[in-house]
Structure 1
Amino acid sequence: MSEVTLRMLFDVDTDAIGRRADGWLRMAGSIDDACEELIRVSRDLEHVWPDGPAAEAAAARGHDLRSEASNAYPPCRRIGDALRLHADTLRGLQGRVQGIAAEASGRGFSVDVTTGTVTAPSRMFTESGSPQIVAQQIAAYVNEFRAILAQAAESDASTADAISVNLPDATAGFGTLGLPPVDEATLRDQQGRTPKEVNGWWRTLTPEQQEQAIRDFPELVGWLDGVPSTDRDVANRLVLTTRMDALRSDADAHARRLADLLMNDPRNRFEIQRETEAMNAAQSQLDKLAEVDKALQRLGPPGLLLGVDGSGDGRVVIAVGDPDTALHTGVWVPGLGTTMEGNTVDNVKRMQTVNAATDLYLDQPGQVSTVYWLGYDAPDLNNFSVVGEGRSEQGGPSYLHFMEGLRATHDTGPSHLVAMGHSYGSTVVAEAALTGRLPVDDIMVQGSPGMHTDHASDLMADPRHVWAGSAGNDPVSETSNVTKYTQLVPIAGPFIGDAYDDGHGVSPHEAAFGANQYVVDTSGHTHYWEQDSESVNNQARVLVGQYSRVGTVHGSPPPDVVP
């Protein structure tokens, strides 16, 4: 390999390297899609054609084809990643060379990028009073150039190595030997890593290994932030189907046992009570999952199930549109009184309504993903949980981790990410934002009781990207309404009102908070998503970054997002 010179570094077309990187990455994506399709259409071959020499030969050939195609994906991806890193590295080094050359020229030195030399006119030696200082300055510039060229040469060599070691063997291609399966311990280890690290690990797996991990451990893959959304969807739908079938079987078995007891042993009250409770518990979990299944069926192809767990109070995450490919993504946290079995369908409809409203402001549909995130235990009206910070302090880290996962899995290209929350859900968003690590471009809330701070600048460095809406008669976000309602509660009412204010702080739509208050033309606490309302249209405008079109009561909107 020839020596890298300043002229070579100046002349290299980093955009051309980037285009080649994109080509390799597109090919990797196509291989991945083709492998998934091959695996999907051939996975049942052994069941429908289980016996005989021909069946055995077909199964063996099918295994070899899946392995060979699957083994081609990681090398292709690694070459694309190496070229992408090389292009970015050289582009940065070019900028450094140009900056140093401009500085040197501005100080009277001459830079020859062909020879890599720096010279000074004779007058600088005579006028400076210290020729040694001029010589030291020249040497410093030359050393900087040499260090840059060394980095360029190192990047060039490592990229060449990455390409050569990942090319197929001339006679055997990428081989048909399958890589070791992913075990449970390896997957559980990923739970303690960052979403970016998880995504990097997942991308090192072959499509066959990914398929095996999803098939064998869907409940782990389905909640693993950093795994691509489409893979999480496959895993979670498998969890949903399997769990619903098991719960139906359990509920039926307990019902048959109960009927038998009532007919043949009606005095056995202990067993009757035990079977009744077991039947009801199974049915309760089944009802939660059935609501999720119903929401997904109504959504159709745009729906992705990014998390599901029917145990306890239940957790569920459903996306309308793929957040990994969307130009704009909003992740909405529901609040007070939300339950998995009672609200999933309606809350997903809200996300559909916001998503559909964005079509008014974009050149083509399908550029937005809206995500319903019930990844925490929402407070209810049966206890004092709504007045405290405990539920949001528990939910904030999970929400933060999920949002970091969306950043890690998003495909190349622009991505505008918005954190959204309603009612107590806004306090979950706040807890994530107050860490200073929430990777979003905007925060938008509705009917918020307060966000655990008195200043929007504590949530985002630029408070112009914090948005709040509040209906005039919302009993949750309007502090005067909270006080009015709690005064009607004997003895405990004033205590609840004071605790509410102390627990959550000033409502973010108040001018003193420093956020933008957008116009809301709906009524009450639960109608912010009425179709064709100014409330939902303003949410859509924020979501697609068309801030100048948002109707505001007060605030200072930032410049629009440039597509």
Structure 2
Amino acid sequence: MSGYLGADPDRLDALGQSLLAQAGSIDELRAGLGGQLYGTDWTGADAEETRADWETSHAPALGAAVDLLRAMSQALLHHAVQQRGASAADGASSGGVPAQRIPVSQIPHTGADPAAVRDWWAGLTQRQREDLMHHQPQRIGALDGIPAADRDTANRVLLEQLLRKDPHNPGLDALHDRLAGKHDPRAYLLGLAANGDGRAIVAINNPDESANVITYVPGTGADLSKIDGDLVRADRMAADANQLDPTRQTSAVLWLGYDAPDSIVPDAMNPGYAENAAGGLSRFQDGLRITHEGEPSHNSIIGHSYGSTTVGIAGRDQGLAVDDMIFVGSPGVGVDNAGDLGISSDHVWSTTAANDPIQYAVVPHPLAPIPSVIVNEARGELIHGLNPSRDEFGAHVFTSDPGTPLITTKHVSVQVPLLPVPPNPVWSGPTVEVGTDVPVGVDPHAHSEYWDSRNESRSNIARIATGNYDEVR
């Protein structure tokens, strides 16, 4: 006799883990085939037809098989946890051996040292880990130092719980769609919270198994309800890097693990949002190092807009366990010199599009607002420090496309007589149209176009993320 009521949970666990491993193998096969198909120098009608068949038929079929196996695996693992609970409740009569459930008080707090969390997690049995991932998903999914695959399991449980409470939440829906296997490669949910503006951490490819890891920190206006746009950027960075170097997998992580400013004025002028995020961002980077398998990965971090301020202040105040630091469209990073960011200035990078209005984000002096704006802009003194794309900052400045013209114009014209006109006549002779374009407004779109198709900034980010520094332009 097994000693349990109903099925043997150990066998359910073993079968669930086997199905999960098989799903991972198929997913890796799908990703590898897709990478080879798109990484091969092959053009023409046959190439387009083959790739179209892959996208519309073969890749979705493999993805559906992966989803089915993972769903079956999760169901079996969940049943195992329930079975142990049932057997424990009836242990006196059945002779069952209940799982040693870990008390909530023994779970490390969210800000715990990732190395200590890793050691605690490693000291648990697989049965205890499964129990915690399914019964304490909010606590386990938020812990830096727990492997990405286990955090993903816990946060997927949490996501389903949140969706049952709020089935029409656009941010949760976007996460569910991206995690459902409809896209390639696989995404891992490393953090989730729905309170306030919401928070989420999503990795494209498993960072624990990747040779290159790039963490992307978005800026003003980023929140859970609008996460789909930032997920697209993470997907593009992963695709760009893996296409550039298909021999060494790159994982791109969207880190919306902080409360980003809601507005440009006054919120984004306040460094407090970045200062509050610094500890969590630094701890997350430590966790990536702690849980990584095999040789150390090449880790980069990229901040866009206010996200660059967050990255810079975290580097300044906490230190970041990264190899490269990248600023895109920055209003300043909390320091005036690349050497003050906690890493070698030779591994600090920055770009600002020619038409990005962020380069004019200066603070006017209350006694002389217009002169001070002119002077500060000329000096590159922005809201949160010296523009990191200025030479005197000391970073490597790389190229981005200019973007949409900053100044919008309107054509204004008048009809001018071709011949001299007597005083006050009613002219009916020949005329010519004379006109010019006059400025009528400002277009900020260049600030958000760094990840657009064929923008040179995307290629340069991929080169930095994969360590191909000599190719950065």
Distance 2:20 2:240 in 1: 33
**Which one has a larger percent helix, Structure 1 or Structure 2?**
1
Match for residue 300 of structure 2? 418
Letter in 2 for 1:290: D
Match for residue 340 of structure 1? 224
2:220–2:264: 8 Å Cα contact kept in structure 1? no
Distance 2:308 2:461 in 1: 15
CA shift, 1:470, in A, is: 0.9
1:397–1:431: 8 Å Cα contact kept in structure 2? no
Match for residue 292 of structure 1? 175
Match for residue 518 of structure 1? 398
- 1:527 maps to 2:446: no
Distance 2:369 2:178 in 1: 39
Q: What are the residue-to-residue correspondences of 1:155-304 with 2, within 5 Å?
A: 180-187=100-107, 189-248=108-167, 286-297=169-180, 298-299=182-183, 302-304=186-188
Match for residue 428 of structure 1? 310
Distance 2:270 2:385 in 1: 11
Distance 1:48 1:397, change over 3 A: closer
Letter in 2 for 1:422: H
Distance 1:34 1:208, change over 3 A: farther
Q: Deviations over 1:224-277 (max 9, x none)?
A: 1111111111111111111111224xxxxxxxxxxxxxxxxxxxxxxxxxxxxx
Letter in 2 for 1:518: F
1:308–1:316: 8 Å Cα contact kept in structure 2? yes
Selected match of 2:208 from 324, 328, 350 = 324
Letter in 2 for 1:482: A
Name the SS of the counterpart of 1:329 in structure 2: strand
Distance 1:537 1:496 in 2: 34
Distance 1:348 1:288, change over 3 A: closer
Distance 1:380 1:360 in 2: 35
Match for residue 453 of structure 1? 335
**Which one has a larger percent strand, Structure 1 or Structure 2?**
2
Distance 1:179 1:520, change over 3 A: same
Alignment RMSD: 3.5
Letter in 1 for 2:392: A
CA shift, 1:301, in A, is: 5.4
CA shift, 1:493, in A, is: 8.6
2:179–2:186: 8 Å Cα contact kept in structure 1? no
Total equivalences in the alignment? 356
1:317–1:374: 8 Å Cα contact kept in structure 2? yes
1:522–1:528: 8 Å Cα contact kept in structure 2? no
Distance 1:48 1:221 in 2: 18
Distance 1:303 1:466, change over 3 A: same
Name the SS of the counterpart of 1:332 in structure 2: strand
Distance 1:305 1:46, change over 3 A: closer
Selected match of 2:234 from 346, 351, 363 = 351
Q: Deviations over 1:307-329 (max 9, x none)?
A: 11111111111111101110000
1:35–1:207: 8 Å Cα contact kept in structure 2? no
Distance 1:465 1:33, change over 3 A: farther
Distance 1:35 1:191, change over 3 A: farther
Q: Deviations over 1:290-342 (max 9, x none)?
A: 23223334535510111111111111111111011100000010012222212
Name the SS of the counterpart of 1:299 in structure 2: coil
1:522–1:533: 8 Å Cα contact kept in structure 2? no
CA shift, 1:438, in A, is: 1.1
Q: Deviations over 1:143-201 (max 9, x none)?
A: xxxxxxxxxxxxxxxxxxxxxxxxxxxxxxxxx966521121111x3434201110111
Distance 1:293 1:441, change over 3 A: same
CA shift, 1:382, in A, is: 6.3
Match for residue 13 of structure 1? none
- 1:393 maps to 2:281: no
Name the SS of the counterpart of 2:313 in structure 1: helix
Letter in 2 for 1:534: E
Distance 2:401 2:394 in 1: 21
Distance 1:44 1:218 in 2: 13
- Compute the TM-score of the two structures, normalised by the length of structure 1: 0.57
Distance 1:45 1:429 in 2: 42
1:331–1:371: 8 Å Cα contact kept in structure 2? yes
Match for residue 542 of structure 1? 464
- 1:505 maps to 2:388: no
Distance 2:206 2:391 in 1: 35
1:183–1:213: 8 Å Cα contact kept in structure 2? no
Q: Deviations over 1:90-120 (max 9, x none)?
A: xxxxxxxxxxxxxxxxxxxxxxxxxxxxxxx
Instruction: State which drifts further: 447-456 or 432-441.
Output: 432-441
Distance 1:381 1:494 in 2: 26
Q: What are the residue-to-residue correspondences of 1:87-98 with 2, within 5 Å?
A: none
CA shift, 1:420, in A, is: 0.9
Letter in 1 for 2:100: P
Distance 1:303 1:494, change over 3 A: farther
Query: Which structure's CA Rg is the greater one?
Result: 1
Percent identity of paired positions between Structure 1 and Structure 2: 31
Distance 2:129 2:209 in 1: 20
Unpaired runs of 5+ residues, structure 1, are: 1-29, 50-54, 65-175, 249-282, 552-563
- Compute the TM-score of the two structures, normalised by the length of structure 2: 0.68
Distance 2:225 2:319 in 1: 32
CA shift, 1:412, in A, is: 2.0
Distance 1:492 1:247, change over 3 A: farther
Distance 1:226 1:357, change over 3 A: same
Distance 1:467 1:415 in 2: 19
Distance 1:353 1:397, change over 3 A: same
- 1:402 maps to 2:284: yes
Distance 1:354 1:303 in 2: 13
